[in-house]
Chains A and B, each alone.
Chain A
Amino acid sequence: MTEADNEENKIIKPDFSDPELFCTALPKEVPRMNNIIQKFYDWAQANSLWLLAFGTGCGSIEMRPLYTARYDISRFGIAPRPTPRQSNLFIISGYVSVKTLKRIIRSYEQMQNPKFVIGLGSCTINGGMYWDSYNTINRLDHYIPVDVYVAGCMPRPEALIAGFDELKKRIKEGRGEGANEYAKNFAWYKANQKKIIKDWDMPDYNW
């Protein structure tokens, strides 16, 4: 029984450099246009933030009240989307273990170019109460570019709304260029990620 079980559950590792099966292209920088249309798009981006409904840690429990009548973030045009393709805001809510980081990277890379990250809670800033743990990362900004950090353990929904305001300000000033930064420093980010993810079983860039 055990033999058969092990045979069944054996993970088949495909060749990730095979262009037939996987996209081997690396992310490209798409520069901003320096004109009024870009300003207009920035305004639209800031007022229509779709956040990825992926709770990575305990902080995701603070995101639920945001949709309720008491806080109601839909006033600001913020709506949850269940798929990374359509969302442009990723909230890393709380501690990130190495296993979760792998999924975070996959989801983050699937999001399309203007994409923003909010690090929620102390754990994303310096590890928080898990600063000496063997399995949680200390600094999120070494793995993916972060736009806004919201400190606290856990920050209340009001603090998160303040974080959204800060992010909007950044986007309207044209400083929400996390995706381009990621493409520019891709080698550095990838080296950091591969340093802690020992069994790298995905393509280098998951477009």
Chain B
Amino acid sequence: MDNFWTTLLYAFLSMFVIFNYGMLLGGVVYKIIARVHGRFGPPVWQPYVNLLKVMGVRTAISHGIMFWLGPVFRFAGGIGLFLFMPVVFGSVWMQNFSFSGDLLLVIYFIFFGQLGMALGAAESGHPYSPMGIMRGLAQVTVSEVPFALAVIALAAQHGTLSITEIVAAQQGGIGNWNMMTNPVATLAGMMAFLGMMMHAPFNLHLAPQEIPVGPPTEYHSNFLGYMQANRAFFASAKLILFMNLFFGGATNIPVLVGKTFTLYMFAVFVGVVNPRFTLENSIRWFIRIPTATGIIAVLIYTFKN
């Protein structure tokens, strides 16, 4: 931390890299889902085209300040989540601001965007927006429960909340990963991961048929552009978070890409072969098996020490 400006430059650089990575990842996932359906699917660069198109829309209707701030909050949540994590462990320029901030801050940032979005979408006055928010918030809240329990178990295991230290403790081979040393917490975390990645069966709040697209019903043009860009950030940031917590982090970019891609494929493949849960079913599912697993993970460390 000798030079603040260097750190800032590096942070922007890594943001640029991770944004493009997230966009391409989205395109690849569309393609994979299409292939599972037996279709060709859109080209891999389709997210870029969509973003450009949305930016090129000439008129925009604002429903007020909060409506405008909603996507900004969401974007801030995505970037905040990303900026307080080490992307590549030991790398000089992919460290971001991981020297400050810890797991609790990260959990807060996961929630922050949703809350901002809730305020913004509610201002639009469209009845489907609050419905989508209600469902989305319930979904995120309930998948936070096993995740928080897994995080507590990890913190008890390593005696710290700093992500950098947790990653550092996992270096030196697959045997040191939390996946091996703390399998119960990993199981709970991965089940929470399914709920966080906004893929079926836990994406009712985004379902276009049940309620037209949920929270972003009224968002268009540049507002929607923010949200699309945020989706790229948020998805890859969450992937990096889970990779850091349970799968040993990454020491270079190829390892980062390989691990996050595999992680994402886990959520995608569960998604494409499963129908959607209704909200009641998904809440019921989350408070049963994943929460029980999380509690067991915490209990193990309670009695160990």
Contact = CB atoms under 8 A, between A and B. Distances in A.
Interface in A47-82: 47-48, 53, 68-69, 72, 74-75, 77, 79-82
Given A69-B37, A83-B212, A85-B218, A77 B46 contact: yes
Interface string B44-83: 0010011011011111110000000000000000000000
B163 to A, nearest CB: 36
A69 B39 CA distance: 5
A77 B219 contact: no
A157 interface: no
B213 interface: yes
B52 A207 contact: no
B30 to A, nearest CB: 8
A88 interface: yes
Interface string A19-44: 00000000010100000000011001
A112 B42 contact: no
A207 B59 CA distance: 10
Contacts of A97: none
B57 A69 contact: no
Interface residues of A, number: 28
Interface string A177-189: 0010000000000
Given A48-B50, A75-B42, A41 B56 contact: yes
Interface string A78-94: 01111101101000000
B59 A113 contact: yes
A45 interface: yes
B209 to A, nearest CB: 7
Contacts of A45: 53, 56
A77 B42 contact: yes
B41 A75 contact: yes
Nearest to B208: A82
Contacts of A74: 30, 34, 39-42
A86 B52 contact: no
A207 B38 contact: no
Q: Which of A28, A53, A82 has the most CB of B within 10 A?
A: A82
A41 B224 CA distance: 16
Contact of A81 (B52, B57, B213): B213
Nearest to A75: B40
Contact of A83 (B34, B40, B218): B218
Nearest to A85: B220
B221 interface: yes
Interface string B2-42: 00000000000000000000000000001000100111111
Contacts of B221: 112
A48 B46 contact: yes
A85 B54 CA distance: 11
Contacts of B208: 53, 80-82
Contacts of B220: 85-86, 112
A48 B34 CA distance: 17
A44 B39 contact: no
A82 B39 contact: no
B217 to A, nearest CB: 5
Interface in B126-155: none
Interface of B: 30, 34, 37-43, 46, 49-50, 52-53, 55-61, 208-209, 212-213, 216-221, 224
Closest 10 CB pairs of A and B: A41-B56, A82-B212, A44-B52, A113-B58, A69-B38, A85-B220, A48-B53, A113-B59, A30-B58, A44-B53
23 contacts: A30-B58, A40-B56, A41-B52, A41-B56, A48-B52, A48-B53, A69-B38, A69-B39, A72-B39, A72-B40, A74-B39, A74-B40, A75-B41, A79-B42, A82-B208, A82-B212, A83-B213, A85-B61, A112-B60, A113-B58, A114-B57, A114-B58, A179-B58
Interface of A: 28, 30, 40-41, 44-45, 47-48, 53, 68-69, 72, 74-75, 77, 79-83, 85-86, 88, 112-114, 179, 207
Given A45-B53, A112-B60, 14 more contacts: A28-B59, A41-B55, A48-B52, A68-B39, A72-B40, A72-B41, A74-B40, A75-B39, A82-B208, A83-B212, A83-B213, A86-B220, A112-B221, A113-B57
